[in-house]
Amino acid sequence: MGLGASGQGMLNPISLKVLPPKLPLDHALESHENDEDKEKKGKKRSRGGKRKREKKFAEAAWAAKEEEESRPDVFSLINNQLAMHSEAVNGGSTKKQQKKGSVEEKKVDRKALVAYDDEVKELKLRVVKLEEMVSRNRNEKAVYEAAMRKLIETRKALAEAEAVHASASNAVVSKEKERKWLKF
């Protein structure tokens, strides 16, 4: 049962297949040919890009949603007008007022005082740098105006930060006094 020196006794194996009952032999030949085709093709491998494709679809959906939301309607127009009006009347945005409220609600301790102190120092340095920039660029109108605008905003932020720092330090001092009194 040797194959011989040049492999002349080698034969392809005979494939056996159990056929379903009561079907013609034509069906068996067709299914056999289909099996051979499947074996030749094998599993089609994906070449990746699934994540990229999903990201692309998500971005398209997000863009459509943004476009739908950005479409001006009556309510958004009214809201924008009311927001601009209230900002002009109050002299400041409501976001700053919300920040103030949230700062007061937070627990104030020595660590918070140090953080406020750092913020005040940083703002003071920024004010000094902006004042120097304004004095250097008095001749260039565009740069001067932009620097002045930033300087005014920074001074407002500094005043707010100092006020918050003062209220926080008062709160800490009053808490410490209260603790001392509670001991006795």
Mean pLDDT computed over every residue of the chain: 77
Q: Convert the chain into a string of H (helix), E (strand) and C (coil).
A: CCCCCCCCCCCCCCCCCCCCCCCCHHHHHHHHHHHHHHHHHCCCCCCCCHHHHHHHHHHHHHHHHHHHHHCCCHHHHHHHHHHHHHHHHHCCCHHHHHHHHHHHHCCCCHHHHHHHHHHHHHHHHHHHHHHHHHHHCCCCHHHHHHHHHHHHHHHHHHHHHHHHHHHHHHHHHHHHHHHHHHHC
pLDDT bucket at 14, cuts 50 / 70 / 90: confident
156-177 pLDDT, tens digit each: 999 999 998 898 888 888 888 8
